[in-house]
């Protein structure tokens, strides 16, 4: 069987082809699945997609009409998929429940330290042979407080690094993680965490209950000199409200690997186009903000695990099995 994979990067392609070798053929496309590209999938029973694919009802109906019966999403998040429509169409949808939590946790810390120690500004200066230190002063993390919103596998990995820095640990989640408690984490309500933390990192999924969990009111609770990092989902932060706080001169630094309107922008070269998103354009102008394009997961370890799980998901579909990765039909 030949599988069609959308949104495949040059780094990812050989890993996908090697993983499916001897099992199935895989056709890799660098274009993303959308209403415009969905007709390409005609005749393919299995389609694999990335996190920024458009799997709305309209796209799913186009896929189903072309013979697609299974969507194998190569990501943990699935807020881009209309699961109700998939059920109505009788499609199978899978995702990747888990992969290396260290890839995201380590990148979150890379962002935190980049904005704390002004790494991007310093690097840009030295490229121009400007070696002054003015405006590059950071601060020690040891003895300060890290607030972790979401203490699952990635949040726990982030917490372990914070513990290694010698930081005080505050956590917020629907359930306490015993491993984080053992490290000395104190669980508090969201507002107390925001008001008491020097560094805040987001590691919760994007759900209806967590959409804009950092809205204007929540952002105002944060310390003026706080550092904010988001490597989870862009919709967790009200970006317009964040820009307003930044314009008011608040926060030591902000590191964002995700953006709530990233679909259709991230993973693509827009350097020769006029930027139409005024919020994003304003965001990247702040000297103490670092924005990256949803690359926290992008290590050979994590991508390899994602692909291996995708191969297993395809095998489960063909064998009529369900697993924890199966979204539709409902997982057992």
Check if 233 is active-site.
yes
Residue 222: is it exposed, middle or buried by C-beta count within 10 angstroms (0-12/13-18/19+)? buried
Check if 139 is active-site.
no
User: Which residue out of 74, 95, 203, 294 is catalytically annotated?
Assistant: 294
Check if 163 is active-site.
no
Can you say whether the dihedral through the CA atoms of 154, 99, 47, 326 is positive or negative?
negative
User: Which residue out of 74, 233, 250, 322 is catalytically annotated?
Assistant: 233
Q: Catalogue the active-site residues.
A: 233, 262, 294
């Amino acid at each position: 069987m030949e599988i069609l994979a959308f949104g495949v990067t040059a780094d990812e392609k050989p890993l996908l082809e090697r993983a499916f070798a001897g099992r199935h053929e895989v056709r890799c496309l660098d274009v993303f699945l959308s209403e415009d590209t969905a007709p390409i999938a005609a005749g393919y029973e299995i389609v694999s997609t990335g996190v920024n694919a458009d799997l709305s009802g309209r796209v799913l109906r186009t896929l189903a009409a072309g013979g697609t019966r299974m969507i194998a999403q190569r990501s943990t998040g699935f807020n881009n998929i209309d699961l109700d429509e998939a059920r109505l169409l009788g499609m199978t949808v899978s995702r990747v429940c888990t992969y290396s939590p260290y890839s995201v946790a380590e990148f979150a810390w890379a962002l935190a330290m980049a904005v704390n120690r002004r790494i991007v500004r310093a690097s840009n200066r030295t490229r121009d042979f400007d070696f002054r230190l003015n405006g590059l002063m950071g601060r020690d993390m040891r003895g300060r407080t890290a607030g972790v919103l979401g203490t699952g596998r990635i949040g726990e990995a982030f917490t372990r690094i914070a513990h290694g820095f010698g930081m005080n640990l505050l956590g917020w989640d629907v359930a306490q993680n015993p491993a984080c408690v053992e490290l000395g984490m104190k669980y508090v309500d969201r507002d107390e965490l925001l008001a008491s933390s020097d560094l805040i990192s987001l590691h919760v999924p994007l759900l209806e209950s967590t959409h804009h969990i950092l809205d204007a009111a929540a952002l105002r609770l944060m310390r003026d000199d706080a550092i904010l990092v988001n490597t989870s989902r862009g919709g967790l932060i009200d970006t317009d409200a964040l820009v307003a706080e930044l314009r008011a001169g608040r926060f030591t630094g902000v590191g964002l690997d995700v953006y709530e309107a990233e679909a259709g922008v991230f993973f693509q070269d827009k350097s020769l186009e006029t930027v139409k998103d005024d919020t994003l354009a304003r965001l990247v102008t702040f000297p103490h903000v670092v924005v990256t394009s949803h690359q926290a997961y992008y290590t050979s370890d994590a991508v390899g695990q994602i692909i291996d799980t995708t191969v297993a998901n395809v095998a489960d579909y063909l064998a009529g099995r369900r697993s924890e990765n199966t979204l539709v039909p409902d997982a057992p």
